[in-house]
Amino acid sequence: MDGEPSCSLGTVVCVITGASRGLGRSLAWELCPRVMPGSALLLVARTEQALRVLAEELTLQYPEIRVRWVAADLGTEDGVRRAVQGAQELNGGDTAQRVLIINNAGSLGDIDKSFVDFTDPLEMDRYFSFNVSSALCLTSSLLKVFQGRPGLQRHVVNVSSLAAIQPFKSWTLYCAGKAAREMMFRVLAEEETDIRVLSYSPGPLDNDMQEEVRTKTKDPELRLQFANMKKSGKLIDCRVSARKMLDVLQADAYKSGDHVDFYD
């Protein structure tokens, strides 16, 4: 993974959600050297300033790639609509060889609670609206924008987690949301056999979310586990994990709908 990546992804139209920081930002940087001139990239997140700066930096470094951004809260109907509109404006017509939709946006939810502390349905509704419903509605809408045509490869990536398949104390919402998303995208893989679907678990990343995990997780053993990982340097750099995801996509050796972990 240390060598300079080739442009083996071809001419790509890519949408990355949660693109302003962490894994999403790293994916944008790692993707650009792997695509051909004329490719297009849409960055979606809630933080306008961070998106604008990232888009400017990418355009300066890779002027042959069209980079656009949309500041949108995907937990709302208007946010999803704005992201879809941005993709429509970026649609490269018949020039793209590959469409790549990366569902990276997500949140932990309240990890300072046990299961029995969740009594407010509105809190659950807000969490699942952003972490599950928006991923379904946005992906479905984008697949309609980028309708299949002969020679066009369409890929959908769900940024997953070990928490999608293993329970963690005090992570009720996060585990449930990740599990729901993963099954949702497995259904997509079953229904649309011409679309390549990947659920990628990036591993324990050294990012802002991990800092929140180490300071706010209610379960003391889990909090200590991640604190020790940080102290011993076992957390994964976002760009290293982003590189691994793109390597998996380029190798194209996974079964559509599969869960692939960074450590696989």
What does the domain layout of the chain look like in residue ranges?
12-202+238-261
Segment among 52-56, 86-90, 125-129, 227-231 with least mean pLDDT: 86-90
CA distance linking residue 13 with residue 24, whole number of Å? 16
Cα dihedral 52, 58, 61, 67 in deg (nearest 10): -100
SS3 of 139, please? helix
| Mean pLDDT within 134-162 | 94
DSSP 206: S
DSSP β-bridge partners for residue 188: none
pTM of the shown model: 0.95
Beta strand 98-103 with 258-261 is: unpaired
User: pLDDT (tens digit, 9 = 90+) per residue, 108-140?
Assistant: 999 999 999 999 999 999 999 999 999 999 999
- Average predicted confidence (pLDDT) for the chain: 94
- End-to-end CA distance of the chain, in Å? 14
Q: Can you tell me which residue has the tokens 């930002």?
A: 25
**Cα dihedral sign, 36-99-89-49:** negative
Query: For residue 51, what are the contacts with CB-CB under 8 A and spacing of at least 6?
Result: 19, 20, 43, 44, 45, 69, 70, 71
Instruction: Give the class (CATH, top level) of 12-202+238-261.
Output: alpha beta
| Mean pLDDT within 135-149 | 93
CA distance linking residue 28 with residue 151, whole number of Å? 24
Is a pLDDT exceeding 60 seen at residue 2?
no
DSSP β-bridge partners for residue 241: none
Q: What Cα–Cα distance (Å) separates residue 250 from each residue in 30, 42, 253, 259?
A: 13, 20, 8, 16
Task: Give the relative orientation of helices 208-216 and 220-231 as an angle to the nearest 10 degrees.
Answer: 140
| Mean pLDDT within 205-223 | 94
